[in-house]
Chain A
Amino acid sequence: MLDVAIAYNRYRFLGNEFLTWLWYTLENRSAQLAKIDADLSALEIGNRMVLENRRSEGVETITIKGDDAGLEEGLLALRKGALVTEMNLIYRSGDNTWQFNIKGESLNLSSFKTPETAGTQTQEDIEGAVLEKIFLYEKVILFIEGAFRHFVRLRISENWDKNNITQIKQWINKAS
């Protein structure tokens, strides 16, 4: 294994490519995500997305915020060579909804909200509430781990250049 600090910087692009692929996949191949997680009913882009373009001399950052914000600017940024570096996602399973931010470079989760749980009054309630929360956090974490695993295998496969990149580019071209 590489030194952690070196590996973090050297492979941050992999997380950003993952988020970009995830956007493409949820828009175009949602069945693929359902295969990764059978409990998933829908995965949607939430109220925030950050993209970064490092292809030009400086670094250009584009932030899209708001519940009803359109993603046209994001697609335009992709067209210019940007990648998604952070996004807010809505994960739905049955009647329940989870919402969270995920960062490409670290895969850290933040502003992570689970479906509502019952309050706690007694000592027994606390143990129940903790276990319920663990179960709810785990749903999204397992999904992210599964999706990332799937992406990595695609990314290092020989088909990545031939098929996947072409398909992503076609989507951007058609959508923007």
Chain B
Amino acid sequence: MGLLSQSVSITRYRVQGQLEEPVLESIARALKRHAVLDIDNDAAEKSCGWTSFENPFAPVFEGSNQLFGSYMVFSLRIDKKNIPTKILKKHFSIEETKRLAASGRQFFSRNEKKLVKEEVLHRLSLRIPATPHIYDLIWNYEGGKLWFFSNLKAANEELEALFTESFKLSLIRMFPYTAAEMDADLSDLERDRLSQISPVNITGLT
């Protein structure tokens, strides 16, 4: 979901750790190294990597390209090939019939069927273009904050894995516990109390 959209979803993160100076070059280098790979003419079913906010299909990561004011703005792109089950079934059935006829056999074992299915899937993957899913993010490096423009579990998990691998920094999702623990300026005593609290009946009158 684009950050310039009319309506957006945001998941908030904290980023812990420092990058090697100069920071802009370190970020550009990491983005380039983990840029999304095009899989349209490839048998791969999925590709996940960084892309640029302004040119998501022709990313260029150089120096300050992704710098907007004091914020880093770029995107996570997940390309996925969705082969409809019915198409896979059809092509598997055609291939199976052809091979049975060629071998003169009546049926294949489970393992043989599995191999045929994998081959069919591989061939279809070469023919079917991947559907791109693009999720923008804003990273306030100085403030150690990052906003990811999606609440989807799968997209957030991909972000967390790729970010950690690319930048070797710790990315912590802000939910009630982490927000209380990291963002509420608690003393050690207050942290102890936080660790002991449990749900109480704050509303029910009976």
Contact = CB atoms under 8 A, between A and B. Distances in A.
B9 A131 contact: no
A161 B200 contact: yes
B193 A15 contact: no
Contacts, number: 143
B146 to A, nearest CB: 12
Interface in B150-205: 151, 172-181, 183-186, 190, 193-194, 197-205
A160 B180 CA distance: 16
Contacts of B54: 126
A148 B179 CA distance: 8
A176 B71 CA distance: 47
B180 A134 contact: no
Interface stretch (A63-71, A89-97, A167-175): A167-175
Interface in B72-97: 73
A20 B206 CA distance: 18
Interface string B119-130: 000000000000
B199 to A, nearest CB: 4
A24 B183 CA distance: 23
B203 to A, nearest CB: 4
A31 interface: no
Contacts of A113: 6-7
Interface string A109-150: 111110000001000001101110110010001000100110
Nearest to B151: A108
B3 interface: yes
B4 A129 contact: yes
B141 interface: no
A80 B204 contact: yes
A79 interface: yes
B194 A152 contact: yes
Nearest to A135: B69
A35 interface: no
B200 A165 contact: yes
Given A105-B175, A108-B9, A113-B6, A141 B147 contact: yes
Given A112-B8, A149-B185, A152-B184, A165 B204 contact: no
A136 to B, nearest CB: 11
A152 B181 CA distance: 9
Interface of B: 3-4, 6-12, 53-54, 68-69, 71, 73, 138, 147, 151, 172-181, 183-186, 190, 193-194, 197-206
Given A1-B181, A110-B9, A133-B3, 12 more contacts: A7-B178, A21-B202, A81-B206, A113-B7, A131-B68, A152-B184, A153-B190, A156-B197, A165-B200, A165-B202, A169-B202, A169-B205
Enumerate the 5 nearest inter-chain pairs by beta-carbon distance, A residue then B residue, closest first.
A81-B204, A11-B177, A7-B177, A15-B176, A14-B176
